[in-house]
Amino acid sequence: MSPDAKDQVLAQASAPAKVILIGEHAVVYGRPAIALPLPQLHARAEVLPGAGSLVIESRYPGADGLRETRVDLAEEGPPQALAVAARAALRHAGRTERTPWRLRVESEIPTGRGLGSSAAVAVALVRALGLAAEPDEAWDPQTVAELALEAERFVHGQASGIDPAVSAYQRPIHFQEGRARPLAVGADTHFLVADSGQHKGTAEMVAGLRARQAERPLTHGAWFDKVGRLAEDAVRALAEGSFRWLGQLMDSNHLLLQAMELSTPALDNLVAGARGAGARGAKLTGSGGGGAVIALVDTDRQADVAQALREAGAVSVLQLCIPATG
Ligand code: MEV
């Protein structure tokens, strides 16, 4: 193969980070939830010609710096999430590990911050492999999400599938029991997403809640039901562009997440800072125990709320605008 042919990209794809607007954790127990794509941060994958078998080279930020790995699917080795996602995609395409491709995966999404980094990596990888295998027909988002979920289950144990779904659909979704439905948005809706700088693994947070839920199933069941109702109300609030209502729903969700022991003093501080500076509502987003908060903020309050979040300890603050749907 000529040097040029070796570097010729056969297919490429990207997938965004995500935030959960309402319903994290309760969604693992079958209640509905709402997730939003966070398009400032992406994972990317590209497929190049290789030799002999599928090799995955990845580079992404881990808890302790940049993580670089190389996995050859034809070789024995410790199980790896990216290999799980790649095998799922190859199986769906009717191909084997002996497919001679080099898959390069990169991500700018920090891990352990509730921003769906592992799901976005898996979604980008599956989409790129799908395009390389079937260039004329991109796989639909539900299929991509289901294949990527195999890797999510490997990483997080009990994953609901909401993270790969929103990353694959790349638009706001209602999610329940494995099914995603794109949502109507009545007015441009502005959020700030603030990173506490603290890391916590989703698997650990999900397992901790599972243990507490097993001890007090009735109490947790009632909390999950309440969260599910907040999510259904939030579908209407978003569709109507009712920011006051949406903010109240976010605040109520944070109280329930606190009751479930998923918040931390640092996250509560960020939530209080945002509300004190005029956010309409704020809550932790993702698995909690660290990670990020999301605040609903009118555009004329954004600068003040962003400043308050930084003063309350945020290491980064991102703007997220969810545009009105047509
Ligand atoms: C993580 O972004 C959301 C959780 O509900 C886990 C899941 O749904 O798989 C905590």
Predicted confidence band of residue 185 (pLDDT cuts 50, 70, 90)? very high
How far apart are alpha carbons 14 and 34 in whole angstroms? 22
**Residue 62 pLDDT greater than 80, yes or no:** no
The least confident of 35-44, 73-82, 97-106, 205-214 is 73-82
The pLDDT score that the predictor gives to residue 201 is 87
Instruction: Give the residue, by CA position, lying nearest to ligand 1 atom 9.
Output: 159
3-class SS string, 156-205? HCCCCCHHHHHHHHCCCEEEECCEEEECCCCCCEEEEEEECCCCCCHHHH
Substitution site in 19, 27, 166, 205 for ligand 1 pocket (most atoms within 8 Å of beta carbon): 27
| CB of residue 162 inside a 6 A radius of ligand 1 | yes
Where residue 80 falls among pLDDT bands split at 50, 70, 90? confident
**CA 90 vs CA 29, 35, 65, 130, 247: distances in Å:** 30, 28, 30, 8, 43
| pLDDT range class, residue 163, cuts 50, 70, 90 | very high
**2 has a pLDDT exceeding 70:** no
pLDDT reading at 200 higher than 90: no
pLDDT digit string, tens, across residues 217-235: 999 999 999 999 999 999 9
Please tell me the distance between residue 132's alpha carbon and the centre of ligand 1 in angstroms: 30
- Give residue 20 CA to ligand 1 midpoint distance, Å: 8
Q: What is the pLDDT of residue 7?
A: 77
d(CA 113, ligand 1 centre) in Å = 12
Q: Catalytic annotation on 136?
A: no
Cα–Cα distance for residue pair 227/1, rounded to 1 Å:
57
How much is the mean pLDDT over the chain?
94
Residue 75 vs residue 303, higher pLDDT: 303
The rounded Å distance from CA 25 to ligand 1 centre is: 5
Q: Is the pLDDT of residue 1 over 60?
A: no
Cα 59 to chain centroid distance, Å, stands at 18
Binning pLDDT at 50, 70 and 90, where does residue 43 land?
A: very high
Summarize the confidence of residues 126-140 as an average pLDDT: 95
Q: Which of 24, 115, 118, 294 to mutate to test the pocket of ligand 1 (most atoms within 8 A of CB)?
A: 24
Q: Which of 136, 140, 163, 195 is catalytic?
A: 163
Q: Which atom of ligand 1 is nearest to the CA of 28?
A: 8
pLDDT of residue 3: 57
Q: Among positive and negative, which fits the CA dihedral 37, 43, 44, 50?
A: negative
Residue nearest to atom 8 of ligand 1 (CA): 160
Nearest residue (CA) to ligand 1, atom 10? 287
User: For ligand 1, is residue 28 a contact (CB within 6 Å)?
Assistant: yes
Q: Report percent pLDDT > 70 for the chain.
A: 98
* pLDDT of 113 above 70: yes
Asked whether residue 110 carries a pLDDT value surpassing 90, the answer given is no
pLDDT of 326 reads 78
| Per-residue model confidence as pLDDT tens digits over 252-280 | 999 999 999 999 999 999 999 999 999 99
Q: Give the pLDDT of residue 165.
A: 98
14: enclosing H helix or E strand: strand 11-22
Indicate the top mutation candidate among 121, 287, 293, 294 to test ligand 1's pocket, ranked by most ligand atoms within 8 A of CB. Answer: 287
pLDDT of residue 262: 98
> Does ligand 1 come within 6 angstroms of the Cβ of 287?
yes
Q: In angstroms, what is the span from residue 179 Cα to ligand 1's centroid?
A: 14
pLDDT at 67: 82
d(C-alpha 275, C-alpha 281), whole Å? 6
Task: Judge whether residue 79 has pLDDT over 80.
Answer: no
